Amino acid sequence: MTKRILTFIAGMTAALSMAAEDLPAIANIYARPHQSLNGKWSYIVDPLENGYYDYRLKPMEKTGFFENRKQTSPDQLVEYNFDTSPQMEIPSDWNSKDEQLFMYEGTVWFKRDFRLDRTPGKRYILYFGAVNYEAKVWVNGKKAGEHTGGYTPFNFDITDLVSDGDNFVVVKADDKRAKDNVPTVNMDWWNYGGITRDVLIAELDDTYIADYSISLDGNSTSRISGWIQLNNEIAGKDIILEIPELGISEKCITDSSGQAAFSVRAKPALWSPDNPKLYDIVLRYEDSDIRDMIGFRTISTSGKQILLNGEPVFLKGISIHEEAPFRSGRAWSPEDAATLLGWAKELGCNYVRLAHYPHNEHMVRTAEKLGLMVWSEIPVYWTISWNNPGTYANAENQLTEMIRRDRNRCSVIIWSIANETPHGEARDRFLSSLSLKARELDPSRLISMAMEVTRADNGVNTLDDNMNEYVDIISFNQYVGWYRNTLEEARTMKWVIPYDKPVIISEFGGGAQAGLHGEVNARFTEEYQEELYIRNLEMLDKIDGLAGLSPWILMDFRSPRRQLPYIQDFYNRKGLISDWGLRKKAFFIVQEYYGEKRPETPDDAGK
């Protein structure tokens, strides 16, 4: 009996300790008092994970690399040493930072020292913008927590793990692909591993504002509403919402769940690509203030039109991978965001598809400032393990973390739950559940997914996907002139999309090596790509209800599926711009098309 009780208690303790680690990522972390842990981290490459498992593959409780052990006497055996190991600038992916790790997939350990002068009563939160793919984190040798998913933020309350003065954090980052992961084992982008986004420690009061939602009240343009959530379930607490430029100073009071709701009359200037107006807002709780910049807009559909602030809008877009311009590797910084999105603006875009996973927060915030609407996507990509409950839970968690981080970003208008997934009952169950979850988490935005043309015979392309009822926008990828059909056939192609919803072509395009010139029928020449764009734009323009495009893709990006020597060299060359920033001829075809493009309006039909 005793043994069974002890086993049960151990199980509960383990569950509780896991639960204690599970702190939803804090909203708008950059606006909190914090110290950055970006910079040089020591790292140890560990392909057999012997810093975590013993030789019988049992996790080591005390003697793993997370201990950051030092040899204190000549006769002591310690077979690792962070202090004499190489260092890497973080954030970064190890593939582009250490040429021995270019193709490496597995575990790399990272260690960083940091000093802390604690203030009594304060909480200390260790925050990661992302670690690809699985992170285990220890502080001063004690477990802080774990996270799975390579593209969303997470954090741990380390208040009870830190001390005044010197501390250290150790991260076990493991980017091994696995069939049941999200994404699964095959994808057309480089599996950049490591601590790929900002790391920081925030200092917060014992009770603090953990999350909030501030937006127009549904499709009303004369009321701002939302809620503010404390980390503790305390009722009767005053929180002040200030929007000085609108003359708003609204006191709201928390309920028993620690959440304060508000709804105020207001007539803000509406955010749009032509007027990306953002308002300074301040949230005051006791003696702490949180500042943010928030834009107010409505997004909806009506039949085959997308309406921004009630007006038809044509999404003049481009797809973008989180590939760093010029240097390659994982993009992560405000400077990378400014370059990539600056190129999208130069192209004439009012919209970007951030593929195939949530990009870093700087991308979404920079898009707001530049006036770019955003499609944000979770990496439910290709042949996911549709029947695996753990895979679904992982996908739903990444969806939840994506929405939680960006719910206040007016640039985000579309949540995408998948890309090019094979039809089937299990996939339909998986995706319909995800769609319902997205609607539950955020009823204010549009839902979509990149589908595929299901039938193409005798020049008629039909899109027939059960998921049509679970999306607000019918989006699909097509590669006429690259993976199928000829450029000549593009002239007469017909498209059948039997749904009364707006249509976005979420991908089309073809490859070209910047600077390679030749006949228009010669693959990978700029002339071929240019002709492909001319033919595709002519063809797609005829689609009834076409409400937007996001051609594939802004910039060449690394992919392990692109092996053609001297042309691809592990780059997907469908960029309109090369990885070195060279604009290819097709760039100017799209720029011209967008220059003349405006939304279809009902009276256009009569012309």
- Whether the link from the prior residue into 321 is cis, omega within 30° of 0, is no
Least CB distance to ligand GCU at residue 398 (A): 17
Least CB distance to ligand GCU at residue 477 (A): 4
190 touches ligand GCU (CB under 6 A): no
Closer Cβ to ligand GCU, 200 or 355, answer by number: 355
Closer Cβ to ligand GCU, 563 or 601, answer by number: 563
196 touches ligand GCU (CB under 6 A): no
- Supply 573's token pair: 């060359």
Whole-angstrom distance between the N-terminal and C-terminal Cα of the chain? Answer: 84
Strand partners, 525: none
Going by C-alpha positions, the residue among 389, 452, 453 that lies closest to residue 421 is 452
Burial of 2: CB neighbours in 10 Å, binned 0-12, 13-18, 19+: exposed
568 touches ligand GCU (CB under 6 A): no
Least CB distance to ligand GCU at residue 256 (A): 46
Going by C-alpha positions, the residue among 350, 284, 281 that lies closest to residue 312 is 350
One residue of 155, 477, 485, 536 binding ligand GCU per CB under 6 A:
477
Closer Cβ to ligand GCU, 404 or 574, answer by number: 574
Going by C-alpha positions, the residue among 337, 329, 334 that lies closest to residue 354 is 337
Least CB distance to ligand GCU at residue 485 (A): 15
420 touches ligand GCU (CB under 6 A): yes
The answer to whether residues 35 and 100 touch, using CB atoms and an 8 Å cutoff, is no
Contact set for ligand GCU, span 521-550 (CB under 6 A) = none
552 touches ligand GCU (CB under 6 A): yes
The answer to whether residues 313 and 502 touch, using CB atoms and an 8 Å cutoff, is no
- Whether the link from the prior residue into 52 is cis, omega within 30° of 0, is no
Least CB distance to ligand GCU at residue 466 (A): 20
Rounded to whole angstroms, what are the CA distances from 121 to 24, 144, 156, 515?
21, 19, 17, 61
Interatomic CA distance for residues 423 and 355, integer angstroms: 21
Closer Cβ to ligand GCU, 420 or 442, answer by number: 420
Least CB distance to ligand GCU at residue 521 (A): 20
One residue of 107, 196, 398, 419 binding ligand GCU per CB under 6 A:
419
Contacts with ligand GCU: how many residues (CB under 6 A)? 9
Tell me the HSE value of 405 on the side-chain side, using a 13 A CA sphere.
28
Closer Cβ to ligand GCU, 305 or 461, answer by number: 461
One residue of 93, 174, 175, 188 binding ligand GCU per CB under 6 A:
188
Least CB distance to ligand GCU at residue 420 (A): 5
400 touches ligand GCU (CB under 6 A): no
Least CB distance to ligand GCU at residue 592 (A): 23
Closer Cβ to ligand GCU, 44 or 380, answer by number: 380
Rounded to whole angstroms, what are the CA distances from 597 to 313, 481, 541, 593?
10, 23, 10, 6
The answer to whether residues 291 and 280 touch, using CB atoms and an 8 Å cutoff, is yes
Closer Cβ to ligand GCU, 208 or 552, answer by number: 552
Interatomic CA distance for residues 199 and 210, integer angstroms: 18
Closer Cβ to ligand GCU, 204 or 380, answer by number: 380
507 touches ligand GCU (CB under 6 A): yes
Closer Cβ to ligand GCU, 174 or 556, answer by number: 556
573 touches ligand GCU (CB under 6 A): no
107 touches ligand GCU (CB under 6 A): no
One residue of 28, 272, 572, 578 binding ligand GCU per CB under 6 A:
572
377 touches ligand GCU (CB under 6 A): no
- Contacts of 410 by beta carbon, 8 Å cutoff, 6+ apart: 215, 271, 278, 294, 295, 296, 297, 368
Least CB distance to ligand GCU at residue 482 (A): 8
323 touches ligand GCU (CB under 6 A): no
Closer Cβ to ligand GCU, 296 or 571, answer by number: 571
- Secondary structure letter of residue 598 according to DSSP: -
Amino acid code (one letter) for 569: D
Closer Cβ to ligand GCU, 214 or 320, answer by number: 320
Closer Cβ to ligand GCU, 187 or 308, answer by number: 187
Least CB distance to ligand GCU at residue 320 (A): 12
Contact set for ligand GCU, span 146-185 (CB under 6 A) = none
574 touches ligand GCU (CB under 6 A): yes
Which residue number places its CB atom closest to ligand GCU?
188
Least CB distance to ligand GCU at residue 91 (A): 23
- Supply 176's token pair: 């091994």
- Supply 476's token pair: 């699909």
Interatomic CA distance for residues 137 and 125, integer angstroms: 13
Least CB distance to ligand GCU at residue 417 (A): 14
Interatomic CA distance for residues 151 and 547, integer angstroms: 28
585 touches ligand GCU (CB under 6 A): no
Closer Cβ to ligand GCU, 363 or 453, answer by number: 453
Give the sign of the dihedral formed by CA 264, CA 242, CA 405, CA 412: positive
Q: Where are the beta strands (DSSP E) in 357-487?
A: 373-377, 412-419, 446-452, 455-457, 460-462, 474-477
Closer Cβ to ligand GCU, 281 or 473, answer by number: 473
Going by C-alpha positions, the residue among 488, 473, 411, 418 that lies closest to residue 450 is 418
* Binding residues for ligand GCU (CB under 6 A): 188, 356, 419-420, 477, 507, 552, 572, 574
